[in-house]
Chains A and B, each alone.
Chain A
Amino acid sequence: MFAFLQLSQLSTGATLGYLCVVAGFLVIVASVVFVVKGKAVLGESGAPNAVEWGKIKTSLTSAVALFVLGAVLIALPLWLVATSEEKRQEEESRFRAERARQPAQALLTGKINGRGDKDLRLLLVVKPFYDQNYSGDISWQIPLLATAKSYALFYIDGDSIVGQQVFSVGGAEPGSPDQTIPLPPWDLHTHSSSAPKVRPALEVSDAELAKLNLR
């Protein structure tokens, strides 16, 4: 019962494999028992060429063939498992090699709310441009350019740019790990992002700074 319960949790292939191995053992045991317990029947030349056990009588060749059949039944599922494992590893290494050739990706995440719950258009300025419309949670997978370390993301409401966010990425060479870039919250209901609106206080003019070689 326990064995049956265990078998019922396995796949069809695995179940057949186990049954095959069990059958192989039984066939081997039967052939061995037959040879050991059976009575040798002598041929015309005087050499034993047949084995008789009860009413069953068979040649030695058949008994050996039965033994070999049992061995094959045991070996076959094991060979199939080994072959499939090899194939799986080949597939996996092919997938890894393919993945290493792909450009690295970054996932932009954040939260935005447009006026009147309308979607806000996000414009990422790289060539070619990428753009998506979002309201609420942002989850935007973008391919990174191997040569670009810095990106500017524009928030567009209708035809007007309502915000801009610049972000930098780490390694973007093909095969680099994916990166997640958290964006600051942006809510047009309150007309604010997390960055405070500041009126700069320039007590020293830019021209004066330039004279002092300061920027």
Chain B
Amino acid sequence: MQSSRNLTFVSGLLLAATLANAADLAGRVTVHSTPIPGALVTANLLGPRGAAAVSVVRTDSGGVYVFRALRAGEYILLVDLNGRRIYQGRITLTNSALVKNIALQ
């Protein structure tokens, strides 16, 4: 009984620690100030040997993309539109939410 309680406590601590290290990344993709829906946004978390984790979302009708609960770290952000790369950038995500708007010409 005691060991079960300990396990639950440790699990809770681990979960809290994980959530504490997670942050949201969001932004809007625009071209000539026009929102671009349907663009493919890829966030690559950099590890010692390239991408350690990859998250992919599409921009909504307002050109907005949102990544939830990403791990803190350095990311390469890629945006593709109709199969064509339109943005390649580097961002650093800490434990707080980050807004990264991508305004293209």
Query: Contacts A212-B76, A214-B50, A214-B78: A200 and B36 contacting too (C-beta < 8 A)?
Result: no
Report whether B105 and A214 are in contact in the complex, using a CB–CB cutoff of 8 Å: no
* B29 to chain A: closest residue by CB: A198
Chain B residue nearest in CB terms to A204: B88
A210 and B44 CA atoms in complex are apart in Å by: 13
Residues of B within 8 A of A196 (CB): 31-32, 34, 36, 81
Assess whether B89 is in contact with A204, with CB atoms less than 8 Å apart.
Answer: yes
Residue among B36, B46, B88 with most chain A CB within 10 A = B88
Alpha-carbon separation in the docked complex, A196 to B84 (Å)? 12
- Residue of A195, A201, A202, A212 with most partner-chain B CB within 10 A: A201
The 4 A-B pairs at the shortest CB distance, nearest first, are namely A213-B50, A203-B89, A204-B88, A202-B88
- Give the size range of B's interface with the partner: 20 to 34
B82, CB-defined interface residue at 8 Å: yes
Say whether B104 contacts A198, CB under 8 Å: yes
For B82, list chain A residues within 8 Å (CB): 195
Interface residue total, chain A, C-beta cutoff 8 A: 16
Contact A201 B89 (CB under 8 A): yes
B32 / chain A contacts, CB cutoff of 8 Å: 196
Residues of B within 8 A of A214 (CB): 44, 50-51, 76, 78
List A contacts of B13 (CB < 8 A). Answer: none
Within 8 A of B (CB), among A182-202: 195-196, 198-202
Given A195-B81, A196-B81, A212-B50: 7 more A-B contacts, CB < 8 Å: A195-B82, A196-B32, A198-B84, A198-B104, A201-B87, A202-B88, A209-B88
5 residue pairs of the A-B complex, CB under 8 angstroms, read A198-B81, A198-B104, A201-B88, A212-B76, A214-B78
CB-based nearest B residue for A194: B82
B84: chain A residues at CB < 8 Å are 198, 200
CB distance from A42 to the nearest CB of B (A): 102
Whether B31 pairs with A198 at a CB distance below 8 angstroms is: yes
Q: How far is the CB of A155 from chain B (nearest CB, A)?
A: 15
